[in-house]
């Protein structure tokens, strides 16, 4: 069974501080994908990043960066110089290849991030 | 156009009503999904359609009936719901290519459903 753990339920930081959201996963698959999604108050899930299990390179996109460490089964997300617009719930997710080849996302419980002006 | 559109945005229905949720995408995606999200919980997969055929049903009660009339549309028909079915219902779509599985899913804003 696949499992994604986001131990931080809620985080609050002051604007311009850096913040790291933790994600730990469990899977028996050798090939898998990891995702981060952002859910603002409006409700839609906004895709942020996809990483496959064979690519352990860290990635940076503007103020966002991701650290994938297979040895510790972690895929952490850092926001640098946080802004109020970053306030949202962030979900880490793991995809499983079903018999039909479709993506089945297993989500973590989410981390509610509040950026204080 | 990277948009998944869901209607209505809000819906209040009685336990004896029949209603439908609608989802539309024009990104050429051939996989479409329904997720259910309770307050302060992560989304939970309900159904997956692949090339307009139902490929995954996560043991969802029959009072929820999905339909995929064509590659751009996905409906969720609701009948005889219970108050505990109140939730945010999210539709998503993703590119389906056998050479590249597990592409990212694009989500709509959801329909916030209240059953009274």
What is the rounded CA–CA span in Å between residue A19 and residue A46?
19
The pLDDT value recorded for residue A56 is 83
Least Cα separation, residue B16 to chain A (angstroms): 27
Assign A87 to helix, strand or coil. Answer: coil
The pLDDT value recorded for residue A25 is 97
The pLDDT value recorded for residue A57 is 83
Please, are residues B11 and B114 in contact by the beta-carbon 8 Å criterion? Answer: yes
Q: How far is CA A28 from CA A2, A3, A31, A36, A73, in A?
A: 7, 10, 9, 20, 11
What is the rounded CA–CA span in Å between residue A36 and residue A51?
9
What is the rounded CA–CA span in Å between residue A4 and residue A27?
9
The pLDDT value recorded for residue B98 is 52
Q: What is the average pLDDT value for chain B, to the nearest integer?
A: 91
The pLDDT value recorded for residue A96 is 74
Q: What pLDDT band is residue B17 in, cutting at 50, 70 and 90?
A: very high
Tell me which residue of B14, B11, B10 sits closest to B116, measured CA to CA. Answer: B14
What is the rounded CA–CA span in Å between residue A50 and residue A46?
12
Question: A96: nearest CA in chain B?
Answer: B102
A→B contacts (Cβ < 8 Å), by residue, are 32-33, 35, 37, 42-47, 50, 52, 91, 95, 97-98, 100-105, 107-110
Q: What pLDDT band is residue B104 in, cutting at 50, 70 and 90?
A: confident
Question: B30: nearest CA in chain A?
Answer: A102
Q: Do A102 and B42 touch (CB under 8 A)?
A: no
Question: B55: nearest CA in chain A?
Answer: A100
The pLDDT value recorded for residue A99 is 54
**More confidently predicted of B64 and A58:** B64
Q: Is residue A13 packed enough to be buried (19+ CB in 10 Å), middle (13-18) or exposed (0-12)? A: middle
Q: Do A45 and B107 touch (CB under 8 A)?
A: yes
Tell me which residue of B2, B6, B17 sits closest to B114, measured CA to CA. Answer: B17
> What's the sign of the alpha-carbon dihedral B43, B95, B3, B65?
negative
The pLDDT value recorded for residue A102 is 58
Tell me which residue of B89, B87, B47 sits closest to A44, measured CA to CA. Answer: B89
Mean pLDDT within B9-25: 96
The pLDDT value recorded for residue A101 is 54
Residues in Cβ contact with B62 at an 8 Å cutoff, skipping those fewer than 6 apart: none
10-residue mean pLDDT profile of chain A (117 residues): values are: 93 97 93 92 90 86 93 96 97 77 82 97
Interval B42-51: pLDDT, tens: 999 999 998 8
The pLDDT value recorded for residue B64 is 98
Question: How would you list the strands of the sheet with B64-70, edge to edge?
Answer: B4-7, B18-25, B73-79, B64-70
Mean pLDDT within B63-76: 96
């Amino acid at each position: 069974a696949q499992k994604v753990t986001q131990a931080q339920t809620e985080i609050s930081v002051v604007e311009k501080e850096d913040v790291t959201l933790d994600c730990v996963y469990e899977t028996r698959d050798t090939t898998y994908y990891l995702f981060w999604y952002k859910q603002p108050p409006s409700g839609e899930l906004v895709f942020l990043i996809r990483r496959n299990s064979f690519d352990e390179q860290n990635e940076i996109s503007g103020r966002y960066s991701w650290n994938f460490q297979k040895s510790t089964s972690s895929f952490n997300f850092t926001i640098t110089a946080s802004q109020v617009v970053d306030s949202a719930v962030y979900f880490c997710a793991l995809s499983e290849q079903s018999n039909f080849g479709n993506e089945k996302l297993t989500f973590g419980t989410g981390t509610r991030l509040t950026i204080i002006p | 156009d990277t948009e998944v559109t869901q209607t209505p945005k809000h819906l209040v229905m009685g336990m004896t009503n029949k209603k439908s949720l609608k989802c539309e995408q024009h990104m050429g995606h051939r996989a479409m999904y329904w997720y259910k999200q309770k307050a302060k919980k992560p989304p939970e997969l309900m159904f997956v359609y692949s090339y307009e055929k139902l490929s995954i049903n996560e043991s969802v009660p029959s009072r929820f009936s999905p339909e995929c009339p064509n590659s751009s549309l996905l409906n969720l028909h609701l009948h005889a719901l219970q108050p505990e079915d109140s939730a945010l219902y999210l539709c998503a779509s993703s590119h389906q290519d056998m050479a590249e599985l597990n592409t990212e899913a694009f989500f709509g804003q959801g329909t916030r459903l209240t059953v009274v």
